[in-house]
């Protein structure tokens, strides 16, 4: 057992502990991972024999695998990879006796890991995927914070803090571009329930499917003409996820509600990655007729608001009522602010509409939706994100970066013959942030270096999500189709052959590494050169010094005298130098190469001469 | 892992036919871990976990070969075993020729514990493998097990071989009475029957002028201090009469031989001359390593 074994194994424990830090303790699998890590550390502490230490290494690998399931993102994956490398190095240190040092152990474990990787990749890429056995653990609650919440009560908020925390990123891998900035509305929650003060989501929480129930069939893959939106969302406490409102989900975990919410019921990864088609057609949630709840309004709470709406209610169609409300809003001195002050408990919306006229998106959406309902137009509040910055990382595909500060609320009203239409009353107010952004130009110039670095990292993250996390059973089937075409029945044979070939290649590679001569580079260079001469039948005789042998060579190949002199002189100087330098070794390699090349070309020209003058 | 047909002969080359390989208990546990990772990966639809599971499987396949390569083509032979004493661990020389690098090789002779794992570069190697002989005489060390679990401990590859060379084992050294045949004092070879004084280190008899090559310990410091000049002391030895050692009568032969073995060893340590008389064999008086080994060999082979 090498002395490096214990430090290596403790180092692995440290890496796993760092990996555990980001886990939410509310997930049962996280608890399992925590428990496993603690048990492994205890086992490592008391382990004395070789067998016990081996078991520790295996437990560490299992721990890393569990972490990989819980934290599949790029950063944690790198950490897990490092932990796996260290665990293997620890295992190697147990077997290789007292000799090897850290560096040798790490090099050897890297060799073994790289040798094992081709076989693993063949199996990973080609072996058909199994579907999950049951939905155990699905739809677990996610702890975290977000700019969005299930309920919305703008009147109680005196001051809204702006958080620049990341919320989501959306990329368009198959080309395509995001919608224009003023059209970028990413819907998350639909609030239909209103009690006069607070808006709540009406969509029932997704029931957890009972265990054993067959999972819904995966949706058909995107057709070639359709674009794809790839979403990466940060943890939020919500089961609804953002989307653009058009297209359809490409994952069986996502279901589209009739209100237009996209509900997620995947088992609990903390961050979610999902793909949607980017169809131009309007989803059928827009034509879903309104329900009675879309007109519910506690009467008598805001008398002035109701009086105003009643005048619009006399107009013939919903469209006319909407236009009347729009022109009324634009005619009033509404101003957008993040510090509107709290609204009174009595007639809060009257106070907002007719007195303060100060508010943020929640106020506008809430007041406008209430007005519409009072005027007899089915309406609801939708919350989600608006805008988002288009980021083009160096050497990658671009993405839209959504921050919590981009959280927004707007209204949807039902218009006969048109379906649900988005209306953003905040845009009518003076000082709306989006309007300011549009006026200032789409891209925010002068990004601080830290933000720039973060954007580049997120670009990598998106690529990782696209190529690595996005490789699912459909991608796998597509790959097999592409590789084998109609001969899919040969898949088993192909996998076996590929595994055998990779195994042979890995063993060959490791054997080559093992045979590779190590030692004094100067000496190796000399031996290489001497072998080249030996092939021509010239070998040093017993007791012959290098300069004398060089003279003999120069007599046979007079053209080589120059390179020979250079090489031998340099070799002698380096050999007997007090401190041989790295530069000197490099120079010896270069001179040796020149000499051998001259020997080859000299021979070729001599043969040519002989052919011409036999 | 310890089964399989043992090889015989002075040299043996390890190859497919005489190497055995099976997963260790840890190897089976590793496979169970692989299955667990596969289940978690499928259940969570996690690519990282699935890849780790395949990686573990791939390491399993790879180490099957790497472990086998550690011993594949290795040639085992025995060197000339040096004699040893019964009762103590004795080193038995094993020669190994490795065609490539061999990692984690452990050698075990007879019922002894396995040695530490050795990482051997390509080339010739020779080790003394310890074993505990059962008694005196010519003995073969029994079964040599050569095994390795490197690099990951997932597989154990082993082979078994009976090395052909026998090792001479002297009787154990045990202090005890020995019969001294003092009456029969045969002269030392090449010397007159009556021992004459010879130059030595026992008693000083004379003084001679000090020469530079004389040891300072022989310098007569007293005379020097008295200012009488530098003189070196001359010493004389009375040669002892070399005793003849014989088994103590009344003791079992084996015990008597063990006493003799100890006595010979200590006489040799003191640089004394001695001879040996055994029922079947006798050795004339003498001293030196060759003489000692001759006497001990006579003890080892005494019937």
CA A77 vs CA A71, A72, A327, A531: distances in Å: 7, 6, 54, 47
Q: Which of A94, A108, A267 sits opposite B44 (nearest CB)?
A: A267
Report H helices in A446-581: 449-464, 473-484, 491-515, 521-535, 546-556, 561-575
Residues B78 and B82: their CA atoms lie apart, in Å, by: 11
SS (H, E, C) B241-272: CCCEEECCCCCCHHHHHHHHHHHHHHHHHHCC
Choose among A329, A289, A497, A353: nearest CA to A424: A329
Decide if A471 and B56 are in contact by the 8 Å CB cutoff.
no
Decide if A120 and B42 are in contact by the 8 Å CB cutoff.
no
Helix (H, G, I), strand (E, B) or coil at A525: helix
- By the CB < 8 Å criterion, does A467 face chain B? no
| A457-490: pLDDT as tens digits | 878 877 787 778 778 777 788 888 888 888 888 8
List the single range of A322-336, A502-516, B188-202, B231-245 with lowest mean pLDDT. B188-202
> B157 φ, ψ to 5°?
-110, 130
Identify the pLDDT of residue B65. Answer: 93
pLDDT of B102 over the 80 cut: yes
| B232-249: pLDDT as tens digits | 887 765 555 778 888 888
Length of chain A in residues, anyone?
Answer: 614
Q: Measured at the alpha carbon of residue A585, what is the angle toward residues A580 and A590, in degrees to the nearest 5?
A: 150
Check residue A395 and report its DSSP letter: T
The order of strands in the sheet holding A262-264 is A240-241, A262-264, A254-256
Q: Which of A91, A117, A130 sits opposite B153 (nearest CB)?
A: A91
Decide if A136 and B56 are in contact by the 8 Å CB cutoff.
no
A-B contacts at Cβ under 8 angstroms: 150
Alpha carbon of A460: minimum distance to chain B alpha carbons (Å): 17
> Which token pair is B104?
């984690």
Residues A450 and A216: their CA atoms lie apart, in Å, by: 43
Strands B244-246 and B274-277: parallel
Alpha carbon of A368: minimum distance to chain B alpha carbons (Å): 44
Decide if B58 and A267 are in contact by the 8 Å CB cutoff.
no
Q: How far apart are the first and last CA of chain B?
A: 40
Percent of chain B as helix, strand, coil, to the nearest 5: 25, 30, 40
Residues A584 and A400: their CA atoms lie apart, in Å, by: 53
- By the CB < 8 Å criterion, does A506 face chain B? yes
Q: Which of B42, B52, B61 sits opposite A65 (nearest CB)?
A: B52
| B130-175: pLDDT as tens digits | 898 888 999 988 899 999 998 899 999 999 999 988 999 999 999 8
Report chain B residues whose CB lies below 8 A from the CB of A4: none
| A35-44: pLDDT as tens digits | 999 999 999 9
Identify the pLDDT of residue A140. Answer: 34
Identify the pLDDT of residue A343. Answer: 83
- By the CB < 8 Å criterion, does A100 face chain B? yes
Pick the most confident of A425-429, B41-45, B291-295. Answer: B291-295
Structure confidence at residue B85 as a pLDDT band (50, 70, 90) = very high
Q: How far apart are the first and last CA of chain A?
A: 68
Cis peptide before A535 (omega within 30 of 0): no
- By the CB < 8 Å criterion, does A465 face chain B? no
Reported ipTM exceeds the 0.90 cut? no
Identify the pLDDT of residue A219. Answer: 60
Range list of β-strands (E), chain B: 11-13, 20-23, 75-78, 84-85, 90-98, 102-109, 118-120, 123-131, 137-139, 144-148, 155-161, 167-170, 179-181, 198-209, 231-237, 244-246, 274-277, 282-286
Chain A CA closest to residue B59: A116
More confident residue, A566 or A450: A566
Decide if A69 and B44 are in contact by the 8 Å CB cutoff.
yes
Chain B CA closest to residue A63: B37
Residue with tokens 């030895």: B237
> Which token pair is A448?
């601080």
Identify the pLDDT of residue B203. Answer: 59
Q: Which of B52, B61, B69 sits opposite A68 (nearest CB)?
A: B52
- Best to test chain A binding among B59, B104, B107, B150 (most A CBs inside 10 Å): B59
pTM of the model: 0.67
Chain A CA closest to residue B24: A51
- Best to test chain A binding among B45, B59, B73, B155 (most A CBs inside 10 Å): B45
Choose among A533, A535, A523: nearest CA to A564: A533
Decide if B40 and A66 are in contact by the 8 Å CB cutoff.
yes
Report chain B residues whose CB lies below 8 A from the CB of A212: none
Per cent of chain A over pLDDT 90 is: 18
Decide if A99 and B119 are in contact by the 8 Å CB cutoff.
yes
Pick the most confident of A16-25, A334-343, A418-427. Answer: A418-427
Choose among A18, A48, A51, A45: nearest CA to A33: A18
Alpha carbon of A123: minimum distance to chain B alpha carbons (Å): 7
Q: Which of B39, B49, B153 sits opposite A54 (nearest CB)?
A: B153
- By the CB < 8 Å criterion, does A577 face chain B? no
Q: Which of A62, A108, A503 sits opposite B36 (nearest CB)?
A: A62
pLDDT of B34 over the 80 cut: yes
pLDDT of A34 over the 70 cut: yes
- By the CB < 8 Å criterion, does A474 face chain B? no
| Mean pLDDT in residue range A493-511 | 91
Structure confidence at residue B123 as a pLDDT band (50, 70, 90) = confident
Which residues 128-147 on chain A approach chain B with CB closer than 8 angstroms? 129-133, 136-137
Residue A16's contacts (CB-CB under 8 Å, 6 or more residues apart) are A37, A40, A60, A63, A64, A67, A83
Report chain B residues whose CB lies below 8 A from the CB of A61: 33, 37, 52, 56
Decide if B116 and A61 are in contact by the 8 Å CB cutoff.
no
Residue A467's contacts (CB-CB under 8 Å, 6 or more residues apart) are none
- Best to test chain B binding among A95, A475, A504 (most B CBs inside 10 Å): A95
Decide if B66 and A112 are in contact by the 8 Å CB cutoff.
yes
Choose among A429, A435, A431, A388: nearest CA to A407: A388
More confident residue, A29 or A518: A29
Residues B247 and A565: their CA atoms lie apart, in Å, by: 77
The order of strands in the sheet holding B11-13 is B11-13, B75-78, B90-98, B123-131
Beta partners for residue B120, in sequence order: B102
The order of strands in the sheet holding A185-194 is A151-152, A199-201, A185-194, A379-386, A407-415, A419-423
Identify the pLDDT of residue B192. Answer: 38
Q: Which of A80, A119, A130 sits opposite B61 (nearest CB)?
A: A119
Identify the pLDDT of residue A442. Answer: 47
Report chain A residues whose CB lies below 8 A from the CB of B50: 124, 129
Check residue A381 and report its DSSP letter: E
Residues A12 and A56: their CA atoms lie apart, in Å, by: 10
Chain A CA closest to residue B155: A95
Decide if B69 and A511 are in contact by the 8 Å CB cutoff.
yes
| A268-287: pLDDT as tens digits | 445 677 888 876 555 678 88
Identify the pLDDT of residue A218. Answer: 56
Q: Which of A61, A471, A511 sits opposite B56 (nearest CB)?
A: A61
Burial of A575 (0-12, 13-18, 19+ CB in 10 A): middle
Alpha carbon of B216: minimum distance to chain A alpha carbons (Å): 43
pLDDT of A115 over the 90 cut: yes
More confident residue, B111 or A375: A375
Residue A280's contacts (CB-CB under 8 Å, 6 or more residues apart) are A246
Residues A275 and A287: their CA atoms lie apart, in Å, by: 23
Report chain B residues whose CB lies below 8 A from the CB of A117: 55, 58
Angle at which helices A546-556 and A561-575 pack, to 10 degrees? 170
Residues B110 and B112: their CA atoms lie apart, in Å, by: 6
Choose among B176, B183, B184, B182: nearest CA to B261: B176
Choose among A552, A595, A553: nearest CA to A570: A595
Burial of A596 (0-12, 13-18, 19+ CB in 10 A): middle
What average pLDDT is seen over chain A? 81
- By the CB < 8 Å criterion, does A98 face chain B? yes
CB distance A348 to A146 below 8 Å: no
pLDDT of B20 over the 50 cut: yes
Identify the pLDDT of residue A402. Answer: 85
Decide if A98 and B116 are in contact by the 8 Å CB cutoff.
yes
Q: Which of A68, A91, A117 sits opposite B152 (nearest CB)?
A: A91
Report chain A residues whose CB lies below 8 A from the CB of B103: 95-96
Decide if A65 and B37 are in contact by the 8 Å CB cutoff.
yes
Percent of chain A as helix, strand, coil, to the nearest 5: 50, 15, 35
> B121 φ, ψ to 5°?
-75, 170
| A298-348: pLDDT as tens digits | 888 888 998 999 898 888 888 999 999 999 988 888 888 877 878 888 888
């Amino acid at each position: 057992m090498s002395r490096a074994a214990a430090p290596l194994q403790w180092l692995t424990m440290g890496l796993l502990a760092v990996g555990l830090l980001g886990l939410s303790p509310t997930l049962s699998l996280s608890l399992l991972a925590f428990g496993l890590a603690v048990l492994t550390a205890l086992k490592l502490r008391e382990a004395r024999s070789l067998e016990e230490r081996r078991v520790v290494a295996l437990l560490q690998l299992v721990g890393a695998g569990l972490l990989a399931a819980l934290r599949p993102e790029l950063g944690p994956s790198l950490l897990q990879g490092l932990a796996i490398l260290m665990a293997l190095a620890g295992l190697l240190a147990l077997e290789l006796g007292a000799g090897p040092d850290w560096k040798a152990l790490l090099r050897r474990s890297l060799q073994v890991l790289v040798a094992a990787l081709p076989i693993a990749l063949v199996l990973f890429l080609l072996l058909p995927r199994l579907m999950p056995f049951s939905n155990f653990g699905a739809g677990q609650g996610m702890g975290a914070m977000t700019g969005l919440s299930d309920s919305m009560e703008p009147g109680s908020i005196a001051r809204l803090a702006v958080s620049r925390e990341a919320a989501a990123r959306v990329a368009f891998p198959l080309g395509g571009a995001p919608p224009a900035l003023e059209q970028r509305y990413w819907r998350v929650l639909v609030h239909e329930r209103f009690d006069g003060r607070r808006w709540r989501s009406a969509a029932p929480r997704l029931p957890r499917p009972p265990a054993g129930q067959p999972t819904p069939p995966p949706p058909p893959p995107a057709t070639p003409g359709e674009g794809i939106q790839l979403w990466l969302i940060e943890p939020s406490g919500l089961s609804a996820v953002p989307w653009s409102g058009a297209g359809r989900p490409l994952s069986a975990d996502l279901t589209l509600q009739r209100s237009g919410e996209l509900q997620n019921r995947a088992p609990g990864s903390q961050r979610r990655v999902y793909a949607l088609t980017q169809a131009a057609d309007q989803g059928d949630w827009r034509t879903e007729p309104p329900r009675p709840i879309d007109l519910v309004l506690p009467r008598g709470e805001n008398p002035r608001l109701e009086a105003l709406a009643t005048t619009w209610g006399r107009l013939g169609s919903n469209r006319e009522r909407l236009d009347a409300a729009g022109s009324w809003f634009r005619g009033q001195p509404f101003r957008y602010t993040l510090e509107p002050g709290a609204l009174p408990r009595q007639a809060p919306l009257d106070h907002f509409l007719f007195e303060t006229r100060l508010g943020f998106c929640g106020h506008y959406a809430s007041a406008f939706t209430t007005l519409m309902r009072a005027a007899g137009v089915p309406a609801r509040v939708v919350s989600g994100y608006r805008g988002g910055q288009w980021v083009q990382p160096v050497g990658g595909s671009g993405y839209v970066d959504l921050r919590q500060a981009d959280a927004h609320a707007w209204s949807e009203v039902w218009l006969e013959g048109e379906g649900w239409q988005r209306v953003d009353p905040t845009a009518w107010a003076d000082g709306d942030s989006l309007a300011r952004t549009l006026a200032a130009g789409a891209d925010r110039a002068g990004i601080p270096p830290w933000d720039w670095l973060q954007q580049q990292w997120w670009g990598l993250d998106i690529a990782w999500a696209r190529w690595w996390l996005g490789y699912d059973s459909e991608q796998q089937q597509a790959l097999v189709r592409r590789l084998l075409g109609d001969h899919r029945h040969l898949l088993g044979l192909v996998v076996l052959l590929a595994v055998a070939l990779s195994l042979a290649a890995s063993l060959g590679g490791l054997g080559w590494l093992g045979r590779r001569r190590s030692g004094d580079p100067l000496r190796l260079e000399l031996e290489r050169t001497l072998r080249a001469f030996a092939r021509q039948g010239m070998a040093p005789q017993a007791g012959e010094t290098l300069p004398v042998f060089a003279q003999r060579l120069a007599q046979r190949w007079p053209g080589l005298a120059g390179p020979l002199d250079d090489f031998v002189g340099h070799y002698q100087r380096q050999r007997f130098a007090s401190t041989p330098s790295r530069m000197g070794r490099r120079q010896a390699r270069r001179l040796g190469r020149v000499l051998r090349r001259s020997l080859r070309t000299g021979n070729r020209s001599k043969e040519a001469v002989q052919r011409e003058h036999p | 892992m310890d089964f399989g047909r043992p090889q015989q002969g002075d040299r043996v080359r390890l190859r497919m036919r005489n190497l055995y390989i099976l997963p260790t208990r840890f190897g089976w546990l590793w496979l169970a871990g692989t299955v667990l990772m596969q289940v978690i990966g499928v259940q969570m639809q996690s690519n990282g976990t699935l890849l780790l599971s395949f990686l573990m499987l791939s390491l399993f396949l790879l180490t099957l070969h790497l472990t086998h390569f550690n011993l594949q083509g290795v040639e085992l032979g025995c060197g000339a075993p040096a004699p040893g004493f019964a009762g103590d661990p004795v080193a038995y020389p094993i020669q190994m020729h490795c065609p490539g690098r061999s990692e984690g090789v452990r050698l075990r002779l007879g019922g002894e514990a396995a040695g530490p794992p050795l990482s051997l570069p390509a080339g010739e190697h020779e080790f003394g493998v310890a074993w505990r002989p059962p008694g005196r005489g010519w003995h073969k060390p029994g079964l040599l097990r050569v095994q390795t679990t490197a690099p990951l401990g997932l597989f154990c590859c082993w082979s078994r071989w009976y090395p052909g060379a026998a090792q001479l084992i002297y009787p154990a050294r045990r202090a005890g009475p020995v019969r001294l045949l003092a009456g029969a004092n045969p002269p030392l070879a090449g010397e007159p029957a009556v021992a004459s004084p010879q130059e030595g280190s026992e008693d000083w008899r004379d003084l001679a002028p000090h020469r530079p090559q004389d040891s300072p310990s022989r310098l007569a410091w007293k005379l020097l201090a008295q200012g009488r000049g530098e003189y070196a002391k001359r010493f004389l030895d009375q040669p002892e009469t070399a005793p003849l050692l014989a088994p103590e009568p009344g003791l079992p032969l084996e015990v008597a031989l063990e006493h003799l073995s100890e006595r010979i060893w200590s006489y040799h340590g003191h640089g004394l001359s001695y001879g040996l008389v055994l029922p079947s064999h006798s050795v004339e008086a003498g001293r030196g390593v060759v003489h000692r080994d001759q006497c001990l060999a006579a003890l080892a082979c005494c019937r």
